[in-house]
Structure 1
Amino acid sequence: MESLMPNMVVEWIPYSNLENIKYLTKGGFSEIYTADWINGRYEEWDFEKKQLERLGTSKIILKRLENVESVNKSWFEEAKSHLTISNKWAEVVQCYGLTQNPSNGNYMLVMYKLNMDLRKYLQQNHNKLTWKRRINITYEIIRALYFIHDEKAIHRDLHSGNILYSQLDNSWCISDLGFCGPADKSST
């Protein structure tokens, strides 16, 4: 995978560069952890030093698929979906790369950490939401789905738990491409 933008470089992230790893939740087929990524992702090219500069310590999400004793084809298909689609479209949660827990051999996706999912957002803001804001949220979700479909893929497991909100730029992204796949492939 090639990128001309430093913040879109996909990389192998040594597990030793991750700190404060904490269990967050369990999804349908994965466990989700939060962590701090020491040095963080690449941010920009330093023309004087002639090297990529890093952002600094960043909060990230680690996603480990359950019941995968050894990496299998479906795990790599999810990784491929995340890496290909998320680094092309800002409307899909960015995946920075992969890591491996040396204590158990589990591979994990390293992903951008957003603030909350749509379910929690609606619970906290239900009485404050204007119709204009509701329509805007719907528009952003549709736009993200459009980009996934533009890649000839279908999400296959869209629900409020994997539509995520960023307070930083007041935007919505789609995550959890675990069932995402080619539009012409059955979902069995």
Structure 2
Amino acid sequence: MSTFENLRYIKIQKIGEGAYGIIYKAKDVQTEEIVALKKFKLSDNEGVPSCALREISILNQLKHPNIIKLISQIIINKKLHLVMNYYDMDLSEYLKFKHEEYHLKNIIYKILLAVEFIHKRKFIHRDLQPKNIVVKNNEPVIIDFGLSRVLSPNLTAGVTQLWYRAPELLQNCHSYDYAIDMWSIGCIIAEIALNKPLFMGSSESHQFSLIKNIINRDEWFINNSQFAKFNNLFIDLINKLLQIDPSKRITSTQALYHPFFQDQQALIQDKKE
């Protein structure tokens, strides 16, 4: 790699830490653009870490307007960096401000579009949470695919941030599927509605207890005072996502065609015609 390539990006500040890398805000001195750099440490024995190769491979297969774009990969000071688009606000920060209802509905729908795209390509994200969804101009973008994997019969149970972790993961299940992402989506949608996380456990056992205490019957949202102000279609969508039994959870495609999104479906149909 040339000296120029090593000096092309100037790090401005550390902005976060993903599953396998540290994220920096940086400036591209050639284009003057602000970018995000995800740094992986190279091993003397193994070379490029397998987690980095896996994330590069996944991102190269996920070209979608609501999924983070991998611009390039470079080596700086013997460390692999992924160069990606930079966003200065994640969903948790975005929700601190007041927004029009149609903007929030659009964000939910676009998140589901991206998740459907991911699932149709046989990947599970495994770490969907507000901090892994960035927002710009009221458009969401899913980031951090460090924990993402191809669907397989035996997977690690200890994934997803605790507050968004599906019940089957809390019970140490290793044979899960796309339904764990749909549980996370249900938690995120509830958080968008309430402006606070729905389940805030301090441990796996506490988290599971909170879930069981709230979700203790079918259609539990109907009698939940926190959701009294929301319309029945919205309540039904969340109810179908937050099912303790993963086999009863709706898929990303089913969620997109839920009656709650009738306006978005009609708009897409009009564009096709």
Per the shorter chain, which TM-score range? Answer: 0.7 to 0.9
Using CA pairs below 8 Å that are at least 6 residues apart, which structure has the higher relative contact order? 1
The structure richer in helix per residue is 2
Output the CA distance in 1 between the equivalents of 2:120 and 2:58: 13
Segments of structure 1 that go 5 or more residues without pairing to the other structure are 1-12, 40-55
Question: Aligned letter for 2:89?
Answer: M
The offset of 1:113, in angstroms, is 0.5
- Percentage of matched positions with identical amino acids: 27
Counterpart-to-counterpart distance in 1, 2:5 and 2:58? 21
**Number of residue equivalences:** 150
Moved over 3 A (4+): none
Aligned amino acid, residue 150 of structure 1: K
**Max Rg structure:** 2
Verify the 8 A CA contact 1:83 1:97 in the aligned structure 2. no
Which of 46, 49, 53 is residue 76 of structure 1 equivalent to?
53
Superposition pairs for residues 149-160 of structure 1, below 5 Å?
149-160=119-130
**Counterpart amino acid of residue 142 in structure 2:** I
Higher strand share: 1
Partner of 1:98: 73
1:36 aligns with 2:9: no
Give 1:60 deviation, angstroms. 0.3
State the shift of 1:20 in Å: 4.0
Give the secondary-structure state (helix, strand or coil) at the position aligned to 1:14.
helix
TM-score (norm 1): 0.72
**Map 1:161-180 → 2, pairs under 5 A:** 161-167=131-137, 170-180=138-148
So what's the TM-score if we normalise by structure 2?
0.51
When the two chains are superposed, the root-mean-square deviation of aligned CA atoms in Å is 1.9
1:99-154 CA distances to partner (integer Å, 9 max, x unpaired)?
1112xx1101100001310001112x1xx233322221111111110111122111
User: Is the partner of 2:95 in helix, strand or coil?
Assistant: helix
Question: Residue 146 of structure 1: SS of its match in structure 2?
Answer: helix
Residue 57 of structure 1 corresponds to which residue in structure 2? 32
